[in-house]
Structure formats: structure tokens, C-alpha cells
Structure 1
């Protein structure tokens, strides 16, 4: 039986997804990554939970409801294409966002709630990002400076979502629960 993973994230507005997919369609033929993320799967992860029992998922939904009541909607602005991994053959190509304290506060509250529920989460510092592509497979070295066209735009964050991962589907993330930010 395949393991199912869950994560909590900020979804993107449809117009931002569309801008990212237009950019991807321009650059993908020139940048051979193994996988380009489906536009419906674009998001900013707040906490990757991994496997979660039914009772843990219920506790997460309850925690999300409380968190939603304590955070007001806010805006994010796209800022720069970056990567994780080796500069000549990155693991992940991603779109960044300008630093927004409201996002970091939201992520801290989500993270702390998930730890209290019993999840063992990544301890690396939070780097908000939207994964665009995975695993460089080019014969030549990857050169970020060759990605001239950038994506610009802002979007409102008004909810957080619990997603389930389906590795055998495209798009592969399914919304399990969603909570509005309503402070």
C-alpha cells in the first residue's frame, strides 16, 4: 500500500498560477528539468506533515481553525526565481516571495501547532517558495542568469489548506480542508 502524505500550505490565486505557467511555458523548452510542476499544484508549504492518522488529521483541522481566527488576510509579492541544491544542477527551481512578517507569523503558528499534535517537522529555517520544477537533467550546467524573464505580481492570502499528496496523479495535491484567515 502506498503511503499518503499531508501538508499545510498557502494556496495561490488563479491569476498568479496563470502567470507562472505562462513563464514556465516560455522557459521549459530551454531548461531541461525532469519535472515541471502542474499549475494546480503551486503553493507555499507551511508545514510538511508526512503520514497522518485520522485522529491526527482531525487535530490538524481543529488547530487550523484556531489559527485562522488569529490571523488576518495579507498580501504577498512575487520576487525572483531561485533554486535549492547544486548551482550547476539544482534539485528544485522555485519562485520566491518578498519577506512578509504575516507569512512568517502564520507559518510559526502552524508549525508549533503541528509539533504539539506530535508531528516531527523539518527544523531548517522557513524559506517560503513556490516549487516550479524538479531535478535538472541538462547536459550543460544550469545557469540561473539565463532565465531573463521574471514573473511579477502580488496576491492575497486569505486561507490555509491541508493537502493530501497522490503521487500517481497529476495534479497530485488534493484539498482535504481549508480554513479562512479571519482576524
Structure 2
């Protein structure tokens, strides 16, 4: 499916679709994460569900199941929310995890103008709250999910692999927000852009 700025292009016979709003990550950054982090984690033998390189993104707001009849209106609301936001600079800042000594999620840390990123997420959250979606309770923590851990024991090798990931600091420009459709399949999630919004 092709992409276009500020345009809706969703074709489905379903009454509802699973959706989220995210920040697009440049291809070069996604490839760097795959080479310097994902492949290292795979070699550890840890039981993880890895995010495919083409699916790497920074989630700004998860909406869940949305009726297809609402897609056009929500897209227009996103236009309003991000319309006055200029592009800004972010950077990769290494690899970490949530879950302490029993990691549940492995992520790439995000640095740079993170206050701008947080402001964007809050603005979108408030806008979507006005359309009936629940507000986020937790403070926005900029990160880019690399893998979700599926094992319940034997974490030493995984932790060692996380610590050995040699992901260099690399800057990139945040300039595109995507309204995304997510389809869950046994082989993993399939993402399709509904609309793009340039910053």
C-alpha cells in the first residue's frame, strides 16, 4: 500500500480496525538497530518476539479497535493536533529493557529533543481524549521497542546480550507522524499506513 501526506487510504470490509499513531523512523536508523541490536539478541537464543525492521516505530498513541466509519474524522483531528509542530531532532542512545532482572521488553533508548517528542505525544493524547479515547495514565517515556520477551526464566544470557549491544549514538530527524492500521497474525503484526502527516 502506498503512502501519501495527510490523506486517508484505507480499504477494508471490516467494521473496525486496530489502530495506533506513531512517529516514523528513517530506514537507515531501522537498519542500524537491526544490525547492531536485533541480530545480537537473536544470537543469544532468548525466546523473544522481535519487531521486524520495517515495523520499527515510536508509538505516540495506541487507539485500539476503531470503527472504520470514524477513520476520516480521526485523521482530520490528527491533522489539527500535529499541524503546528515543526520537525525536530532525535537520536539513538543505546539499548535497555523494562522488567529489571526479568526483562519483558527490550528497547532502543531515544535522546535528543525528547521534550518536543513528549509534547507531541501529549497533544495527540489530549486530542484523542476529546474523541472519546482514554487518556494515558503513565508519563510518556520515549523508546523504540525492539523485542518482547516470551520466556519466564533463564534471563542471564538475554541480559548479557542486551549489555553487549553496540548501538551507536545516531541522530535523525522526526518529521512524519503516521496513523497506522495493525493486523495481528500468527506470524506477527502487519502494519499498513492509513495516512501520513508531515511535521
TM-score scaled to structure 1, two decimals? 0.88
Is the 8 Å Cα contact of residues 6 and 52 (structure 1) preserved in structure 2?
yes
Equivalent residue for 2:183?
166
Equivalent residue for 1:25?
39
Shift of 1:170: 5.0
SS at match of 2:141: coil
- For 1:3-152, list aligned pairs within 5 A: 4-23=17-36, 24-30=38-44, 32-85=46-99, 87-98=100-111, 100-137=114-151, 139-141=154-156, 142-143=158-159, 146-152=163-169
**Superposition RMSD on alpha carbons, in Å?**
2.2
- Quick one: structure 1 residues 147 and 10, their matched pair in 2 at CA, closer, same or farther if it must change by over 3 Å? same
Farther-moved stretch of structure 1 (148-157 vs 91-100): 148-157
Shift of 1:112: 0.5
CA distance in 1, matches of 2:133, 2:89: 28
Q: Which runs of 5+ in 1 are unaligned?
A: none
Farther-moved stretch of structure 1 (162-171 vs 138-147): 138-147
TM-score scaled to structure 2, two decimals? 0.81
